[in-house]
Amino acid sequence: MAERTLTKVLPLRTAVSTSAGLASAAVNFLATVDVAIYVGGRSAWLAILVAGALIMLTASNFSELNGLFPSAAAIRVWTRRGLNDQLSLVSSLVYATTVVFVIAADAFVLGHVFQAAVPAVPGIVWVVVILGVTAVFNLRGVRVAGLVQDTNAFFLLGTLAVISIIVIASGPAMPVGSLFQMGPRWFQGVALGVFIFVGFEWVSPLAEEFQDARAIPRGMYMALGLIAVAFGLFALALADVFPHPASLSSSLIPQLLVGERALGPLGFWWMAVVTLTTAMTTFNGGLVSASRFVYALARERSLPPSWARLNARLVPARALLGLTALALVLALAVYATRQYTLLIDAGAGVESLMYALTTILIIRLRRREPNRPRPYRAFWYPVLPVTVGLVFVGLAAGALTTTAIPGGVPWALIFVLGLTAVATGYVMFGLPRKRREARKREPTLSHVNRAPKA
Amino acid sequence: MDALEKVLEGFVERCNKNPRLIAMNRDWTREVAIRATDTGEAFWIRSAAGQLSAGKGTATGPADLEIRADRDVLEAIFSGQMAPTEPYNQGDLLVRGSQDDLLRLDVITLMIWGE
C-alpha cells in the first residue's frame, strides 16, 4: 500500500540531534567521572567507547522494532505486541521513570554548577527555580523550538570535543601504556559508561514524523558516534586535569574545571552556559515526552483518567505537574544526600535491562508476526542480538550491584527492585480494580462539552 | 453510502456543532488521510476555519496526517466506541505525521465523547 506524501517531515539532522540531545544530559559529566573512578586510571575513554560500541548493537534492535511499529508509544506498543499487556505496562512504567531519574540528576548537577558560578545563591534554590520555570513554560504551551533543540546537542558535543582537545594538546604527553590500564572494576566502568548513552533511543517516538524509515536508524548511529567521541575526549581531558582518579570523586563540577583549564574564566563560564542549556533541554524534552506518555496511558485507562486532563493550551497539566513534583522531590533528596550515583547506577541498570529486552522482543515478534514488513532488520540475527542481550543482562547486574554508597549495600538494585514491585503491584492488583470501577460508572467531565455516545 | 463514510460524516457533524471545538480548530487547517488497511479503501477528513468535512477517496496533494488501521478499528474510533489511544498503544492504529496533530485528533474525540 503506497504511503501518502506528507506536507511536513523531519530531516535526518533532527534524528541525529534528537538522539544525541536526549542522551546528552548534564549528569553525563559526573557519569564520566564515575567511569574514570571505576576503571581506576586513564582508560575511561576506552570504557566509554566499548559501552558505545555495545549500545550501537542495541541500536540495531531498536531500528528493527521502530520499522516494524513506528509509533510515538514505541516501547508500549513493542512490548504489548511481543509480550503481553501486563508485562508491557510494568516495563513501560519502570522505563519511563528513568526520564525522571535523569531530570533529577541533571537538576542536582545544575544546582552545583550555579552554586560554583554564583556562590551567593544556594544551589538548591536554583534547582527549584529552574524546574519550576520549565514546568510553567510547558504548562503555557511554550515549547523549545526545534532549531534550538537541534542546535543545542551539536553545541554541547562540539564544545566538549574542542575544549577537551585544547586541554589534551596543552597538557603533558600521557604515557601510551597508561591509556590502556584496566583496573579490577573495569567491567563495572563499562556498565556505568552505558549511562552516558542513555536516552539515544528516545528518538524512536518521532518515527511517525519522518518520511524515510531509515532516518531513525541512521540518526541513532550517527548520534552514538558523536557522543562516544565527545565524551571519550572529555574522559581523556579529565585524566589530564585530575591525574589521580581518587581526587575526582570530590568534584561535582568537572566540566567547569576542564573548561577553566582550557580557556581560563571564559572556559569556566562557557561550560556553565553549556550545562545550563543542556539541562534545560533535558528538562523540557523529558517533561514533554514523559507527560505525553502518562497522558496516553491515562487515555487507555491504565492510569487514572484524570491524568489525561488537558489545560486550555492542550497540555496534559496534571501529568506534567505530577512528574515535575516527582523529579523535584527526587532532586531535593539527592541534593540533600549527595548520592547522585544512585540515580546513575539505577538509570544505567534499568536501561541495560531494557536493551536486553529488545532482543527478546525482536525474537518473539519475528515468530508472532513473521510477515509484517520490516524496513530494517537487526544485524546477524539471531546470534548477535542474543549475544548483545546476554551482555546487557551482565552490564545491568554490574551497574545495579555497584556499591558506590558507603556501607556496601547495593542501593541501586534495591531502588529498582522496589520500583518494579510497586509497578507490578499496581498492574496486577490496583489496575484491574480501577478498570472494573470505571466500567461501572459514567465518566464525568467538567472541562469539556459532552454529547451522548453514538 | 459506505458505512465508514457515514461514521465519518457523523463525526464531522458533531465537531461542527460543538462551539468549543469550532473555536479550538479555528486555526487548525489540516488534511487527514485515512486508509483502511484490510480493504485498501481511502477516506479523508479536512479541517479549515473551525469546520471539518469528510469523504471517501484519495484527496490530491500531500496530507498533513495519515492514519492507517483496519476498517472496524476506524469505525470504532470515529463513532466513539473506542478512544484512539487504545488501538494506537496496541499497534493496531498506525499514524504518520506530526504528534501535535495526532494529539489534536485525540483531543477532538475526547471532547466529543469524554474520557
- Is residue A75 predicted with pLDDT exceeding 60? yes
Q: Is B43 helix (H, G, I), strand (E, B) or coil?
A: strand
The minimal CB distance from A299 to the residues B10, B18, B85 is found for: B85
Give which of A29, A34, A72, A49 is closest to A296, Cα–Cα: A72
pLDDT band at A141 (very low <50, low <70, confident <90, very high): confident
Per-residue pLDDT at A452: 36
Per-residue pLDDT at A440: 67
Per-residue pLDDT at B13: 95
Per-residue pLDDT at B92: 94
- Hey, how many other C-beta atoms are within 10 angstroms of the C-beta on B18? 20
- Is residue A170 predicted with pLDDT exceeding 50? yes
**pLDDT digits (tens), chain B, 115 positions:** 688 999 999 999 999 999 999 999 999 999 999 999 999 999 999 999 999 999 999 877 789 999 999 999 999 999 999 889 889 999 999 999 988 888 888 889 988 887 6
Per-residue pLDDT at B17: 93
pTM of the model: 0.88
Per-residue pLDDT at A223: 95
> What are B63's strand-pairing partners?
A6
Structural domain spans, chain A: 20-438
Give CA–CA dist A391/A379, Å, rounded: 16
Residues of B in contact with A7 (CB under 8 A): 31, 62-64
Q: Which residues, at least 6 apart from A263, have a Cβ–Cβ distance to it below 8 Å? A: A163, A166, A270
Per-residue pLDDT at A450: 37
Give CA–CA dist A273/B95, Å, rounded: 38
Residues of A in contact with B113 (CB under 8 A): 450-451, 453
Give the pLDDT mean for A3-10: 73
ipTM above 0.90, yes or no: no
CB contact under 8 A, B10 and A454: yes
Residues of B in contact with A205 (CB under 8 A): 99
CB contact under 8 A, B115 and A451: no
CB contact under 8 A, A450 and B33: no
Return mean pLDDT, chain A.
Answer: 87
Give the pLDDT mean for A135-148: 74
Q: Which residues, at least 6 apart from A324, have a Cβ–Cβ distance to it below 8 Å? A: A131, A132, A134, A135, A287
Per-residue pLDDT at A184: 79
Per-residue pLDDT at A454: 33
What's the number of CA atoms in the CB half-sphere (13 Å) around residue B52? Answer: 25
pLDDT (tens digit, 9 = 90+) per residue, A406-450? Answer: 677 888 999 999 999 999 999 999 998 887 776 665 444 333 333
Residues of B in contact with A446 (CB under 8 A): none
- Is residue A2 predicted with pLDDT exceeding 70? no
Distance from CA of B101 to the nearest CA of A (A): 11
The minimal CB distance from B62 to the residues A6, A69, A77 is found for: A6
Architecture of domain A20-438: Up-down Bundle (1.20)
A382 prior amide bond cis, ω within 30: yes
Give the pLDDT mean for A367-383: 94
∠ at Cα A13 (A7, A17), nearest 5°?
A: 120
CB contact under 8 A, A449 and B64: no
Do the beta carbons of residue A132 and residue A356 sit within 8 Å?
A: no
pLDDT band at A383 (very low <50, low <70, confident <90, very high): very high
Give CA–CA dist A203/A62, Å, rounded: 10
Per-residue pLDDT at A90: 96
The minimal CB distance from A77 to the residues B66, B80, B89 is found for: B89
Give the pLDDT mean for A228-250: 87
End-to-end CA distance of chain A: 31
CB contact under 8 A, A8 and B107: no
pLDDT (tens digit, 9 = 90+) per residue, A146-158? Answer: 666 678 888 999 9
Structural domain spans, chain B: 3-113
pLDDT (tens digit, 9 = 90+) per residue, A192-229? Answer: 899 899 889 988 888 888 878 889 999 999 999 999 99
The minimal CB distance from A6 to the residues B19, B90, B97 is found for: B97
Which segments of A302-364 are extended strands (E)?
A: none
∠ at Cα B13 (B79, B57), nearest 5°?
A: 75
Amino acid type, A435: R
Distance from CA of A296 to the nearest CA of B (A): 6
Distance from CA of A433 to the nearest CA of B (A): 18
Give the pLDDT mean for A14-22: 87
For a pLDDT cut of 90, what percent of chain A falls above it? Answer: 45
Residues of B in contact with A81 (CB under 8 A): 90-91
Residues of A in contact with B28 (CB under 8 A): none
- Is residue A1 predicted with pLDDT exceeding 70? no
Homologous superfamily of the B3-113 domain (CATH): SCP2 sterol-binding domain (3.30.1050.10)
pLDDT (tens digit, 9 = 90+) per residue, A78-110? Answer: 999 999 999 999 999 998 888 888 888 888 888
Per-residue pLDDT at A444: 41
Per-residue pLDDT at B108: 92
- Is residue A116 predicted with pLDDT exceeding 60? yes
Residues of B in contact with A296 (CB under 8 A): 85, 88-89
Q: If you measure CA to CA, which chain A residue comes closest to B59?
A: A4
- Is residue A377 predicted with pLDDT exceeding 80? yes
Q: If you measure CA to CA, which chain A residue comes closest to B95?
A: A208
CB contact under 8 A, A209 and B111: no
Give the pLDDT mean for A170-189: 84
pLDDT (tens digit, 9 = 90+) per residue, A261-302? Answer: 999 999 999 999 999 888 888 888 888 888 888 888 888 888
Distance from CA of B48 to the nearest CA of A (A): 16
